[in-house]
Chain A
Amino acid sequence: MRFLKKTYVFLIFAFLYAPILVLIVFSFNESKSRANWEGFTLKWYYELFKDRHIMSALYYTLLIAVLSSAIATLIGIIASIGIFHMKKVPQGVVLNLNYIPILNPDIVTGISLMVLFIFMKMNLGFVTMLLAHITFNIPYVILSILPKLKQMNKHLYEAALDLGATPAEAFRKVILPEIMPGVITGFLLAFTLSLDDFVISFFTTGSGVTNLSIVIFGMARRGISPKINALSTLMFVSVLILLIIVNIRMSKDNPERRARIERSKENSRYLPDIGHDI
């Protein structure tokens, strides 16, 4: 029985990761062929970095990832605080509106953004792609910050005001440090999503501005070059590293949260009648 269980798990992961493993291995293959191994080389990586087209795409990918995640994080912080302080019913409505873009197929988001940009007579290019990335990043940022706000003692802000802090000071010195873990997680998540987006970028860019995903797609249509393997490997590794960081951060938060819940349970044992009193 145990053997079966282990085999089952092994098979799942084999199917999931075998293709990526093959891709990584063949990015170091001497031969152009994808069928046989002819020795280790780094030449595809070398050629990759010589390719002007790819380097320009890398530049735009990183620039858009940094800008879109930073802007989305800023907007996300403000939006989360607004949503957090809403009354229950409107809050539910806004949260659901926030979920829809996450569940919406990328192709629908991509095409609708393209249609919108064209309707507004905007030239498709860097700006439109950046706007598109900011748009699809915001919901994820909100979803990583909101739980932090909910965990926070609701009187912290008032306590800061009570001690003489202006609303701006209270936000900077008390609220922001409290929600910081959520803000950073949201930023990293947004960065990762922007880095590997293809579909939405494909529909919202133009005039020579491309990102890596689009370049890979274009190259693949013209015939597979091992350079693609090298490029994909690099993208996979960087996204993997970011995801590991995000996960470590989230699991670091958890024990802390658990401890806090424990404590509040312990406290509530002594207070039969301390429910929120208006």
Chain B
Amino acid sequence: MTDSIILELKNISKIYDDTPALVDINLYIRKNEFITLLGPSGCGKTTTLRIIGGFEEADNGDLLFEGKNINNLPAYKRKVNTVFQKYALFPHMNVFDNIAFGLKIKKMDKGVIREKVGRMLKLVNLEGFDKRSVNSLSGGQQQRVAIARALVNEPEVLLLDEPLGALDLKLRKEMQVELKNMQQTLGITFIYVTHDQEEALSMSDTIVVMNNGEIQQIGTPEDIYNEPKNAFVADFIGESNILDGIMERDYLVTFMGKQVPCVDKGFATQEEVDVVIRPEDVKVVPREEGILEGVVRSVTFKGVHYEMMIQSDGYTWMVHSTLMAPENTTVGLNILPDDIHIMKKKVTA
């Protein structure tokens, strides 16, 4: 990965009918990076992508492509291509003509077009499908045509808007691997939009977590998972137990009436904080060995582990463990200082 920045968003804002869709987005994207915009529906990730693609205009801010401002460059002149959410293949054209569309617009030589399209069909494993109508293809095949149609133009940046959203789980996993491979072999910058955190974690170099039109955190998948910046990120990236706590002093926090050592510092004394603990970091131990006590309310087998809901005072803990405690037994809960994540309370607007 080189360090040269290909795309930069500066103070981008967008308002739809009085509701802010994007609030002061600042983001840079490096060449050959696989970057994912991750967030729930309505968080602004698709709007961001559409602004980069040129289908939507920002109300404020600048969009720089290789250092040049492209705010006013129309979509058809931008060196980016898009794979749309529901493919948006041209139904009246066959597979070949769909993929060749961009090249024909550029008035390329017919022989060159045939060769390029042929190479793309091979890349997406659709050799021999050129004459087929796109309506006769399965979802996965349509997806591949959409990717080929975008990639054949050799874009500098490929935008993907929930490209695997319509596929079943197994096909989705396969396509994730294929997309990642394509991105690495072709050396193209991918900007990928999804609401699926697993997909984001497994494919991306960088993840941008968004909510309510604001960027919550930017980082590598490991950073985002291990060091979530706030309770929203922690909850969205994997499941979490989030409790109200009070910081006594550095390295000591109170939650559920217990003072527990932790590894965080730098908060004000008596500051109200969010205490975030991953379900797999809660250890189930015999009653007398735990710092907390709870009753197992339900146990669900999840394959690799059991998911237990354990009620302790007013809070129900979600616990993932390979060992199972039977329902209605009272158990102890232990949490290591290292597994307690203290986060600033989000200022509720």
- Chain A contact residues, CB within 8 Å of chain B: 153, 155-156, 158-167, 169-170, 173-174, 177-178, 259-260, 267, 270-271, 273-275, 277-278
Residue of B nearest to A270 (CB): B168
B92 at the interface (CB under 8 A from A): yes
Q: In the bound complex, do residue B168 and residue A177 qualify as a contact, i.e. CB atoms below 8 Å apart?
A: no
Instruction: Name the residue in B74, B76, B77, B153 with the highest tally of chain A Cβ atoms < 10 Å from its Cβ.
Output: B76
Q: In the bound complex, do residue B41 and residue A163 qualify as a contact, i.e. CB atoms below 8 Å apart?
A: no
Residues A155 and B105 in contact in the complex (CB < 8 Å), given A162-B75, A163-B153, A278-B42: no
Q: In the bound complex, do residue A165 and residue B166 qualify as a contact, i.e. CB atoms below 8 Å apart?
A: no
- Chain B contact residues, CB within 8 Å of chain A: 16, 21, 41-47, 53-55, 74-77, 80-82, 84-92, 101-102, 105-106, 135, 139, 149-150, 153, 162, 165-168, 195
Residue of A nearest to B100 (CB): A163
Q: How far is the CA of A161 from the CA of B102 in the complex (A)?
A: 9
Residues A274 and B90 in contact in the complex (CB < 8 Å), given A162-B53, A162-B82: no
Residues of A with C-beta under 8 A to B53: 158, 162
30 interchain pairs, CB-CB under 8 A = A155-B84, A158-B53, A158-B55, A158-B75, A158-B84, A159-B82, A159-B89, A160-B90, A161-B55, A162-B76, A162-B80, A163-B81, A163-B105, A164-B76, A164-B105, A165-B76, A165-B101, A170-B76, A174-B90, A259-B135, A260-B135, A267-B166, A270-B166, A270-B168, A271-B165, A271-B166, A273-B41, A273-B195, A278-B21, A278-B47
Instruction: Name the residue in A164, A267, A274 with the highest tally of chain B Cβ atoms < 10 Å from its Cβ.
Output: A164
Q: In the bound complex, do residue B76 and residue A267 qualify as a contact, i.e. CB atoms below 8 Å apart?
A: no
Residues of A with C-beta under 8 A to B82: 158-159, 162
Q: How far is the CA of A166 from the CA of B74 in the complex (A)?
A: 9
Residue of A nearest to B21 (CB): A278
Residues of B with C-beta under 8 A to A163: 76, 81, 101-102, 105, 149-150, 153
7 closest cross-chain pairs (CB), A and B: A163-B102, A155-B88, A159-B88, A161-B75, A277-B46, A155-B84, A164-B105
Q: How far is the CA of A274 from the CA of B90 in the complex (A)?
A: 21
Beyond A158-B84, A170-B76, A178-B92, 7 additional contacts (C-beta under 8 Å) are A155-B86, A158-B88, A161-B75, A162-B76, A164-B105, A277-B41, A277-B195
